[in-house]
Chains A and B, each alone.
Chain A
Amino acid sequence: DIQMTQAPSSLPASLGDRVTITCRASQDIGNYLRWFQQKPGKSPRRMIYGATNLAAGVPSRFSGSRSGSDYSLTISSLESEDMADYYCLQSKESPFTFGSGTKLEIK
Chain B
Amino acid sequence: EVQLVESGGGLVQPGSSLKLSCVASGFTFSSYNMHWIRQAPKKGLEWIALIYYDSSNKYYADSVKGRFTISRDNSKNTLYLEMNSLRSEDTAMYYCAKTGFDYWGQGVMVTVSS
Contacts and interface: CB of A to CB of B under 8 A. Distances in A.
Instruction: Sort chain B's interface into a size bin.
Output: 10 to 19
A74 to B, nearest CB: 20
Given A36-B101, A49-B100, A43 B95 contact: yes
Interface in B45-65: 45-47, 50, 59-62
A20 to B, nearest CB: 19
A45 B107 CA distance: 13
Given A36-B45, A98-B45, A43 B107 contact: yes
Contacts of A96: 35, 47, 50
Task: Report, as a range, how many residues of chain A touch the other chain.
Answer: 20 to 34
A95 B62 CA distance: 8
Interface in B76-114: 95, 100-102, 104-107
Interface of B: 35, 37, 44-47, 50, 59-62, 95, 100-102, 104-107
Report the 6 A-B pairs with minimum CB-CB distance, sorted nearest first.
A94-B59, A96-B47, A43-B104, A101-B44, A98-B45, A95-B61
